[in-house]
Amino acid sequence: MAGIYIHIPFCKKRCTYCDFYTEVAPQLIPNLIESIVKELQIRKDYLQNETINTIYFGGGTPSILNKSQFELIFDAIYKLYNVADDAEITFEANPDDLTTDFLASIRPLPFNRMSIGIQSFDDIDLKRINRRHSGKEAIDAVKNAQNAGFNNISIDLIYGLPNQTLAAWEKQVDTAFTLNVQHISAYGLTYEEGTALWKQREKGLVKTVEDDIMNEMYLLLIEKVKQNGFEAYEISNFALPNHRSRHNTSYWKQQPYIGIGPSAHSYNLTSRQWNVSSITTYIKAIAENEIFFESEILSINDRYNDFVMVSLRTSDGIDVTLLEKEFGTDFKEYCLQNAQKFTKTNKVDYSNDKLCLSSQGVQISNLIIMDLMRV
């Protein structure tokens, strides 16, 4: 099994916290679609005819595309790749794009899952981070999608936004659970260097949320998740039974995937590849049959570190038996030895041959992961 990721690097305006590669250049969309179709052709052998189990349109803002532009991409995928009949096919969307007309136009397409970038239902928060929608538009977007027949919907939220209180975050979470969605992704705000929000913090223009409050926000989220019948299957991802993101899970299970479009990454179990982070350079290189990506061959240490990082973030944890099978006894013993100080302090649970983060361990997950890695 394998996945396809399509990166649509366009936004109508840029959010202050975002460090993903995007451009506000809608005039380039037609040429980019043409280049994406051509890249799908050029790289059709990358996955060695693996069955495509998931397709994910991310961004940027995939919902900036229209039906005919999506159709061009789908036509190429289904012509060139072996797509499973039950493949999960997701697209990310901004709430203000999800009008009844837009949803009606794309309903005949193969999409069977939607991820809506809400981030907050609070208008003050939304203005502060330069989002395009209001809280009401976010709620309406979910309802519009449901009325259009979409029944596998995920929403994104951010906690720890500037000036946010624990009570304000609780209100966000409660609102989310009134919408009857199947999946929630919730991320603690990070101030990525070079972003507008990072610059604002450096100038003292925004008030950051203290780490202890951030931890309380996360613990409150976990409590609400359990109360509403969701499972915390990854540190930042929560789903009703049978509604985990199959695409993201494939990353965490280290299945191969191909990334199409500017700045998209690919992985085929032995190497990683990443496309140039420039729409114009990408389009030009594709048109002229030039190299548009860089790549690296992964060492056994690289692959082990990836395995540790993605596995420990999930509720399944690190399967020690699989670790030994994939990397050998030396790596298994190294991992278990380094995990001892965390198992002794109940930050990591070790049972049934699996290492899993405890609720305490989740709060220092990055530290634990770094300690288990091998340089």
Cβ density class 69-96: b for 16+ within 10 Å, e for less: bbbebbebbeebbebeeebbbbbbbbbb
Same-domain status, 237 and 307: no
DSSP state of 347: S
- Mean pLDDT over residues 273-297, rounded? 96
Same-domain status, 248 and 308: no
In degrees, to the nearest 5, what angle opens at C-alpha 365 toward C-alphas 347 and 59?
155
Same-domain status, 123 and 24: yes
Same-domain status, 146 and 244: yes
- Higher-confidence position of 167 and 198: 167
In this predicted structure, which of 13-27, 67-81, 106-120, 183-197 has the lowest mean pLDDT? 13-27
Give residue-wise pLDDT tens across range 33-63.
999 999 999 999 999 999 999 999 998 899 9
The Cα 126–Cα 144 span in angstroms is 20
- The verdict on residue 275 lying in a domain is no
How many domains in the chain? 2
- The verdict on residue 354 lying in a domain is yes
Amino acid 320: pLDDT? 97
**What residues contact residue 328 under an 8 Å CB cut-off, 6+ apart?**
none
Same-domain status, 216 and 323: no
- The verdict on residue 268 lying in a domain is no
Give the torsion through C-alpha atoms of 280, 282, 287, 289, to 10 deg: 150
- The verdict on residue 53 lying in a domain is yes
**Side chain identity at residue 306, one-letter code:** D
Amino acid 198: pLDDT? 87
- The verdict on residue 235 lying in a domain is yes
- Higher-confidence position of 12 and 155: 155
Give residue-wise pLDDT tens across range 56-85.
999 889 999 999 999 999 999 999 999 999
Same-domain status, 220 and 313: no
| Residue 323 confidence (pLDDT) above 90 | yes
- The verdict on residue 102 lying in a domain is yes
Same-domain status, 125 and 245: yes
Same-domain status, 85 and 194: yes
Q: CATH number, domain at 131?
A: 3.80.30.20
First-to-last CA distance in the chain? Answer: 30
- Strands 83-93 and 271-275 come out as unpaired
Same-domain status, 129 and 222: yes
Domain region containing 142: 2-252
Same-domain status, 111 and 195: yes
- The verdict on residue 259 lying in a domain is no
- The verdict on residue 319 lying in a domain is yes
| Residue 101 confidence (pLDDT) above 80 | yes
Give residue-wise pLDDT tens across range 202-246.
898 888 999 999 999 999 999 999 999 999 999 999 999 999 999
Amino acid 24: pLDDT? 77
- Strands 257-260 and 318-319 come out as unpaired
Q: Is 313 exposed, middle or buried (0-12, 13-18, 19+ CB in 10 A)?
A: buried
Same-domain status, 146 and 242: yes
Q: CATH number, domain at 327?
A: 1.10.10.920
In this predicted structure, which of 40-44, 199-203, 330-334, 340-344 has the lowest mean pLDDT? 199-203
